[in-house]
């Protein structure tokens, strides 16, 4: 494993840990609204007070000066100490909130929502990607190794799904389900829908690799020493497809995150107030987030980081995964 891959894996584990630990990381319930603090900017922790003295980490409370202009001022006459590990990793006591990454249009803490949203958005996208790749790899392996009618049948089904416009298929499939679903049901439905839409591309790629690799000397040698089809596929041919599957993962993961955003936007994904990253980005767009409240783009940064982590974790130069390089 290369250093880059190792870094990627560590970051991926860290990301997953953050998602799992979201309730502990988030200072507030992601749905909690501080209606007096819409579009509050991030509140920077301080260790030096206005008089120049060192203090334990604290923040200055924010005061809304002009609601329509969304202008806040720090109230430097008071300090609110940050408390470590008291129900959440870091939080403040009292009625006044601390927005480490700012607040959104309804005064909800962006950090809490991004942390909670990681579970939903990454969970849906990751699980959808894994299942799509697993199904695609299995179908591609069978089609590529067996050939004949199995290949024809599986690839016609894959072609059928591929030629359908993906987003409309997703919309139609989700639209066929009841309008009001619990978050768990929405999660399961989205994973199912994404898996259905995502497997054909993986299947076609794996099939192509299998068709090439099954006649290579190492595969022939394996068969010559008595390896059965399952061993040849599992031990020899499937590893040859892993590089492609990693690349597919880096394509499908962000696509599914954005598909979840689109579905949430049209009312077929997670319903408010579920803090999915996609729904948060939609809010940011309608609130001119990029210009007036750039902290609302935090979910976009989270999505980019997630994709980067996946790409880092993909062992691009591993000779086992890229046999062509080895040759």
Partner 1 sequence: MPRALACALLLTLGTACRSSAPSSDDAKTTGPVRGGTLVASLRSEPRSFNRYVDNSAAADTTDALTQARLVRINRRTDELEPWLAERWTSAPDGRTFTLTLRPGVAFSDGTPLSSADVLFSFAVVYDPKLQSPLASGLRVQGKPLQVSAPDASTVVVTLPAAFSPGLRLLDNLPIIPRHQLEPAFKAGTFGDAWGLTNGPGRMAGLGPFVVSDYVPGQRVTLTRNPHYWRKDASGAPLPYLDRVVLEIASGQDAEVQRLEAGSIDLMSQADLRPQDYATMKRLRDRGAVTLTDVGTGVDPNVLWFNLATTQPSRGYLQKQEFRQAIAYAVDRDAIVNSVYLGAAVPVYGPVTPGNRLWYSENAPKYPHDVARARTLLAGIGLIDRNGDGMLDDQSGAPVRFSILTQGGNIRAQTATVIQEQLRQAGIAVDVVPLDFPSIAQRWMSGSYDSIYYGFQASAMDPAMNLDFWLSSGSAHVWHPEQGSPATAWERRIDELMQQQIAAPRIDDRKRLFAEVQKIFGENLPGLYFVAPKVSIATHLRVGGAEPVLLDPKILWNPDTLYVKDGASAPQR
Enter the tokens of residue 142.
């069978």
Using DSSP's 3-state secondary structure scheme, residue 159 falls into helix
Smallest separation, CB 112 to partner 1 (Å):
14
The residues in 30-89 that bind partner 1, with binding defined as CB under 8 A, are 31-33, 35-36, 38-39, 67-70
Q: Which residue's entry shows tokens 């990253």? A: 277
Smallest separation, CB 5 to partner 1 (Å):
40
Q: Which is nearer to partner 1, 117 or 243 (CB)?
A: 117
Q: Which residue's entry shows tokens 């059928």? A: 160
Smallest separation, CB 283 to partner 1 (Å):
8
Helix (H) or strand (E) segment spanning residue 57: strand 54-59
For residues 270 and 260, the answer to whether their CB atoms sit within 8 Å is yes
The residues in 88-107 that bind partner 1, with binding defined as CB under 8 A, are 105-107
Closest CA to 124 of 35, 239, 286, 255: 255
d(CA 34, CA 108): 6
Closest CA to 97 of 18, 24, 35: 35
Residue 236 Cα distances to 56, 134, 220, 226, 243, angstroms: 58, 17, 10, 13, 13
Q: Residue 33: which region, alpha, beta or left (left: phi > 0; alpha: psi -120 to 50)?
A: beta
Q: Which is nearer to partner 1, 32 or 46 (CB)?
A: 32
Per-residue string for binding with partner 1, 256-295, x by CB under 8 A? ---------xxx---xxx--------xx-xxxx--xx---
Q: Which is nearer to partner 1, 103 or 195 (CB)?
A: 103
Q: Which of 179, 184, 224, 225 binds partner 1 (CB under 8 A)?
A: 179
Smallest separation, CB 272 to partner 1 (Å):
4
Smallest separation, CB 67 to partner 1 (Å):
4
The residues in 122-151 that bind partner 1, with binding defined as CB under 8 A, are none
Q: Which is nearer to partner 1, 178 or 226 (CB)?
A: 178
Q: Which is nearer to partner 1, 234 or 267 (CB)?
A: 267
# residues contacting partner 1 (CB under 8 A): 30
Q: Which is nearer to partner 1, 163 or 180 (CB)?
A: 180
For residues 225 and 278, the answer to whether their CB atoms sit within 8 Å is no
For residues 91 and 82, the answer to whether their CB atoms sit within 8 Å is yes
Smallest separation, CB 34 to partner 1 (Å):
8
Smallest separation, CB 120 to partner 1 (Å):
16
Smallest separation, CB 66 to partner 1 (Å):
8
Burial class of 267 by CB neighbour count within 10 A (0 to 12, 13 to 18, 19+): exposed
Smallest separation, CB 306 to partner 1 (Å):
24
Q: Which is nearer to partner 1, 11 or 297 (CB)?
A: 297
Residue 165 Cα distances to 30, 122, 147, 161, angstroms: 34, 23, 27, 8
Closest CA to 200 of 164, 155, 245: 155
Q: Which is nearer to partner 1, 32 or 63 (CB)?
A: 32
Interaction of residue 21 with partner 1, rule CB under 8 A: no
Burial class of 68 by CB neighbour count within 10 A (0 to 12, 13 to 18, 19+): exposed
The residues in 201-260 that bind partner 1, with binding defined as CB under 8 A, are none
Contact residues: partner 1, CB under 8 A:
31-33, 35-36, 38-39, 67-70, 105-107, 179-180, 265-267, 271-273, 282-283, 285-288, 291-292
């Amino acid at each position: 494993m290369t250093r880059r891959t190792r870094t990627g894996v560590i970051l991926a584990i860290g990301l997953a840990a953050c998602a799992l630990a979201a309730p502990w990381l988030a200072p507030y319930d992601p749905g909690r609204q501080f209606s007096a603090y819409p579009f509050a900017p991030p509140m920077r922790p301080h260790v030096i007070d206005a008089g120049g003295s060192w203090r334990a980490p604290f923040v200055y409370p924010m005061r809304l000066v002009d609601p329509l202009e969304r202008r806040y001022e720090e109230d430097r006459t008071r300090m609110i100490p940050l408390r470590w590990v008291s129900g959440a990793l870091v939080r403040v006591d009292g009625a006044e909130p601390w927005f480490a990454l700012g607040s959104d249009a309804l005064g909800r803490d962006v950090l809490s929502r991004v942390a909670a949203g990681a579970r939903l958005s990454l969970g849906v996208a990751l699980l959808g990607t894994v299942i799509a790749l697993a199904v695609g790899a299995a179908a591609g392996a069978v089609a590529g190794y067996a050939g004949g009618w199995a290949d024809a049948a599986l690839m016609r089904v894959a072609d059928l799904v591929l030629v359908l416009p993906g987003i409309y298929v997703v919309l139609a499939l989700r639209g066929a389900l009841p309008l009001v679903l619990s978050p768990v049901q929405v999660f399961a439905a989205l994973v199912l829908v994404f898996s259905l839409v995502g497997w054909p591309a993986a299947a076609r790629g794996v099939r192509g690799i299998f068709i090439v690799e099954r006649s290579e000397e190492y595969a022939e040698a394996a068969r010559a020493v008595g390896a059965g089809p399952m061993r040849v596929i599992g031990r020899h041919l499937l590893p040859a497809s892993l590089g492609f599957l990693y690349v597919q993962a880096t394509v499908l993961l962000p696509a599914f995150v954005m598909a979840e955003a689109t579905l949430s936007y049209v009312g077929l994904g997670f319903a408010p107030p579920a803090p999915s990253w996609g729904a948060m980005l939609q809010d940011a767009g309608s609130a001119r987030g990029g210009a007036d409240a750039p902290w609302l783009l935090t979910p976009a940064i989270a999505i980019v980081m997630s994709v980067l982590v996946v790409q880092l974790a993909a062992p691009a130069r591993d000779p086992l995964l890229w046999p062509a390089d080895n040759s």
